[in-house]
Structure 1
Amino acid sequence: MESIVNYYQMIDEGSRFSRNSRRIEFLTSTYVLNQILPQRAKILDVGAGTGVYSFYYAERGHKVTAVDITPKHIDEIKNRSDETKLEVKAYVENATDLSRFESETFDCVMCFGPLYHIIDDTERDKCLKECLRVLKSSGHLAIAYINKYSIIPMLTTRTPQFIRPSVVNKVINNGVILDGDEDCFWTDAYFTSPKEIEGLLMNYGVRTVDHVGTDGISHTIQDSIDNLGENEFNTWLDYHFQTCRERSILGISSHGLYICQKN
């Protein structure tokens, strides 16, 4: 995990949703969750980053706790909480160990980042079990993942030097890239597919509630989306909301969001 912490210590994660092509992921995730969350829910934001989702829901009267493995992110959340007077409790924690929290504490657990970077099957199992443990019975777990089928098209538009058989094999067949490897275009990362994420969660006895492609192809064609005017962007967003559950769109979306209910 050291390489991941170092990576996020260096970048400006807080600006991730500043462009329209990236903001669609946020707008879709909140659009879907807002249809499910009860009023004044207790929410755990696991892998909260700088707290974009945490503060969005705190502003709407929910009781939010944020955890992240990167100390800089937690410092930013605490500072913003002090400045805005919005209460968001924040702790430096690993998503694989949520022992700080008692079982069946939260109405909703948002796991919007950790799965991207847990490259070990055993650690991934710990993460999912911990998220479900702290979730109340009938509570909702929302898990974001990066779709393996979107990676090569995205690399083609941005860093074509990585378009080679070894990279395709690692993304499609292994689902993992390792920091420091010659084929690594990011940091330690785990990629999966819509079908695989559904199969994985079925092992935990949950009930599927929703499954959407949170950015469709907006991330892949980012320049075109970013250049849209306000009216055109809103039309694109409406189109996206209407089609984000379509399996063919879900199959190429850069980010997916799987929501399930604890039995």
Structure 2
Amino acid sequence: MNLVEDFYDNKYDEWSRLDRHRIEFEITKKYLDKFIVGDNLDIFDIGGGPGRYSFYLSDKGHNVTLLDLSQHNIDIAKEKSKELNTNLAGYIKGDALELDEHNKKYDVVLLMGPLYHLVNKADRRKALKGAVNLLKDGGIIVASFISNYAPIQDNFAYLKFDNGEDDVRELLGYIESGVNNVESGFTTAYFSSSEEALKLMEEYNLKQLAFAGVENILGCRERDILLLPEEDIQKWIRVGFALGEDKKLLGASQHYLYIGRK
């Protein structure tokens, strides 16, 4: 976790990532809009980085508390709150593995980051158990996973090979192990298959409301799509959202999104 914390504190601009990957951002927001229903809900955004989704939900009138491992991300969130004139209910530097320190119950819990930075399955289970325990009965949990096809999708989008013959072996290795090391340019991470992600969520007696491949067919053409006129961008986002839960297309996505009810 120290490596992950250092990565977001010193090496990565998480706020701007969702500008570069706007398809992920826009389609995820559509799922939040579909399933987070009600007024003035209490929402806990665990591992929410600098708060892009926190601010989005706060603007809709919800009471959102942001927790992140990175102090830098928390500081950015506080700065952005002034720019956006949207203040969150709380800004907490904290660890998704230490959720038993929090006693309040929430209508919605977002866990859209920690599960793909926890390499050990026991840690993923601990984070999930803590998140579910913080939900009110009937509450909604939204959890994100990075697909084990994501490195292949990313390299394909940029037609990128850097290390000769080692590239193929490395990319295909993610399908088997799911483990990413810091030498790859990204931080410590775990990439899941869709089957593994669903099996993990099934352990917590949740009612599955949706399981989606976020980018699906749009991912490898994202750079081209974002150069289009705004009207056309929105058309493609509508197509991607419509295809998100098509099981035949799950492997085309870099991110999986699970939504369930306690």
Shift in CA distance, 185/172, structure 1 to aligned 2, threshold 3 Å: farther
State the shift of 1:234 in Å. 1.8
State the shift of 1:82 in Å. 4.6
Q: Which residue of 2 aligns with 1:195?
A: 195
Aligned with 2:155: secondary structure?
helix
Of the candidates 157, 174, 177, which is equivalent to residue 174 of structure 1? 177
Q: Which residue of 1 aligns with 2:68?
A: 68
Deviations 1:58-78 (A, max 9, x none): 111101000000000111222
- Write the distance in 1 (CA, Å) between the matches of 2:260 and 2:58: 22
Residues 43, 107 of structure 1: 8 Å contact kept: yes
Q: Which residue of 2 aligns with 1:17?
A: 18
Matched residue pairs, number? 255
From the two aligned structures, give the one with the greater helix fraction: 2
- Write the distance in 2 (CA, Å) between the matches of 1:123 and 1:232: 42
Deviations 1:77-136 (A, max 9, x none): 223335525233110111111133216x00111111111211111111110011001111
Unpaired stretches in structure 1, ≥5 consecutive residues: none
Identity %: 30
Deviations 1:182-231 (A, max 9, x none): xx342211101222111111112211111112222333323222222222
Q: Which residue of 1 aligns with 2:226?
A: 226
Shift in CA distance, 86/133, structure 1 to aligned 2, threshold 3 Å: same
Residues 150, 220 of structure 1: 8 Å contact kept: no
Letter paired with 2:23: I
Q: How does 1:73-88 map to 2 (within 5 A)?
A: 73-82=73-82, 84-88=85-89
Q: Which residue of 2 aligns with 1:48?
A: 48
CA RMSD across the alignment: 1.7
Residues 142, 258 of structure 1: 8 Å contact kept: yes
Aligned with 1:251: secondary structure?
helix
Q: Which runs of 4 or more aligned residues in structure 1 lie more than 4 Å from their structure 2 counterparts after TM superposition? A: none
Unpaired stretches in structure 2, ≥5 consecutive residues: none
Residues 58, 86 of structure 2: 8 Å contact kept: no
Letter paired with 1:34: D
Shift in CA distance, 251/71, structure 1 to aligned 2, threshold 3 Å: same
Letter paired with 1:164: V
2:196 maps to 1:165: no
Letter paired with 1:130: G
Residues 153, 219 of structure 2: 8 Å contact kept: no
TM-score normalised according to structure 2 size: 0.91
State the shift of 1:251 in Å. 2.4
Aligned with 1:228: secondary structure?
coil
